[in-house]
């Protein structure tokens, strides 16, 4: 006899890890750099554990600044941030990784040793570190490339190494600053799909910076739209579409509708910026 509870699932399959518990709370955090540049007006934003959120906007709207504030790499001039409900100034040791646009690999060191670097810095014993590096390389599909030097790899593969280096510390939070911006479109699309798989499999919280509307629609559960002059958050747009998202999604009318919505929002935001 089937004793399963009577579940009704309407519409999307919810990611199992999206339970609505805050991972990141940005509380009136703003940034004026020491040279007087106002990079961000006060931002209020909550990102839940397990969410995939994109920061989208034109150059100079403060996307990187906000991401670096979340990472603790930039101090807010006013306001504060909480990570996993603890004041980020307490350096609460939430395991997070930051992936930059450049893969920034050590050219003299093979793929395995490049990925092992954060574990070496953290003093993880050699045998355990090696096991974790192998796991991380498998996750990004580079299991067979451990002994290869970075220059022997394509740009997309180098970025996979960078992502493996981000995952090897088993972070809860992955912060990505235009990681695929320098790649050709086909490679970027493939890495977008791989990233979504990793996000779901690993139960990560991801904050992803891009200025590509299409990338934002494909990846995100939520898009935080930002505008420049001065940098600020202008809109929080849900992309209420199920996962997994595949290549058919990219060419669907729904996708086009979201892209149009973001395009309009971006245009409106940039116009209001010029008037102010």
Q: Does 88 bind ligand ADP (CB under 6 A)?
A: no
Cα separation, 164 vs 159, whole angstroms: 9
Q: Does 62 bind ligand ADP (CB under 6 A)?
A: yes
Quick check: 43 and 74 in contact, CB under 8 A? Answer: no
Q: Which is nearer to ligand ADP, 50 or 57 (CB)?
A: 57
Cα separation, 138 vs 161, whole angstroms: 11
Single out the residue of 2, 35, 93, 276 in contact with ligand ADP (rule: CB under 6 A). Answer: 35
Using CB under 6 A, which of the segments 52-60, 85-93, 184-192, 196-204 binds ligand ADP?
A: 52-60
Q: Does 33 bind ligand ADP (CB under 6 A)?
A: yes
What is the side-by-side order of every strand in the sheet holding 96-99?
A: 96-99, 173-177, 205-210, 52-56, 222-227, 232-238
Cα separation, 92 vs 85, whole angstroms: 10
Q: Does 93 bind ligand ADP (CB under 6 A)?
A: no
Within 12-31, the residues that bind ligand ADP by CB under 6 A are: none
Q: Does 270 bind ligand ADP (CB under 6 A)?
A: no
Within 111-130, the residues that bind ligand ADP by CB under 6 A are: none
Q: Which is nearer to ligand ADP, 100 or 243 (CB)?
A: 100
Q: Does 65 bind ligand ADP (CB under 6 A)?
A: yes
Using CB under 6 A, which of the segments 61-69, 116-124, 152-160, 267-275 binds ligand ADP?
A: 61-69
What is the closest distance, in whole angstroms, from the C-beta atom of residue 106 to ligand ADP in the complex?
A: 25
Contacts with ligand ADP by CB under 6 A: the residue count is 13
Within 213-232, the residues that bind ligand ADP by CB under 6 A are: 231
Torsion of CA 175, 180, 185, 188, to 10 degrees: -60
Q: Does 60 bind ligand ADP (CB under 6 A)?
A: yes
Q: Which is nearer to ligand ADP, 62 or 179 (CB)?
A: 62
Contact characters 127-156, ligand ADP, x per CB under 6 A: ------------------------------
Q: Does 37 bind ligand ADP (CB under 6 A)?
A: yes
Query: Beta-carbon neighbour count of residue 241 at 10 Å?
Result: 17
Q: Does 175 bind ligand ADP (CB under 6 A)?
A: no
What does the binding site for ligand ADP look like in residue numbers (CB under 6 A)? Answer: 33, 35, 37, 39, 57, 59-65, 231
């Amino acid at each position: 006899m089937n004793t399963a509870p009577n579940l009704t699932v309407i519409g999307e399959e919810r990611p199992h890890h999206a339970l609505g518990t805050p991972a990141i709370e940005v509380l009136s955090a703003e940034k004026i750099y020491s040279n007087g540049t106002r990079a961000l007006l006060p931002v209020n934003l909550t990102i839940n554990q397990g969410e995939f959120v994109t920061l989208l906007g034109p150059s100079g709207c403060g996307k990187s600044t906000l991401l670096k504030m979340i990472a603790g790499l930039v101090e807010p001039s006013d306001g504060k941030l909480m990570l996993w409900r603890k004041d980020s100034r307490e350096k609460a040791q939430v395991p997070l990784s930051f992936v930059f646009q450049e893969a920034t690999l050590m050219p003299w060191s093979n793929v395995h040793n490049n990925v092992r670097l954060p574990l070496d810095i953290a003093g993880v014993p050699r045998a355990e570190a090696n096991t974790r590096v192998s796991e991380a390389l498998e996750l990004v599909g580079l299991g067979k490339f451990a002994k290869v030097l970075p220059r022997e790899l394509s740009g997309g593969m180098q970025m996979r190494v960078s992502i493996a280096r981000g995952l090897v510390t088993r972070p809860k939070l992955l912060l990505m600053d235009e990681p695929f911006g320098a790649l050709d479109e086909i490679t970027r699309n493939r890495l977008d799909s791989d990233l979504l798989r990793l996000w779901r499999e690993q139960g990560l919280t991801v904050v992803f910076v891009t200025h590509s509307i299409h990338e934002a629609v494909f990846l995100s559960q939520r898009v935080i739209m930002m505008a420049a002059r001065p940098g600020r958050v202008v809109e929080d747009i849900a992309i209420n579409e199920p996962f997994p998202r595949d290549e058919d999604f990219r060419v669907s009318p729904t996708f086009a509708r979201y892209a149009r919505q973001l395009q309009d929002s971006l245009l409106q935001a940039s116009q209001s910026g010029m008037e102010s």
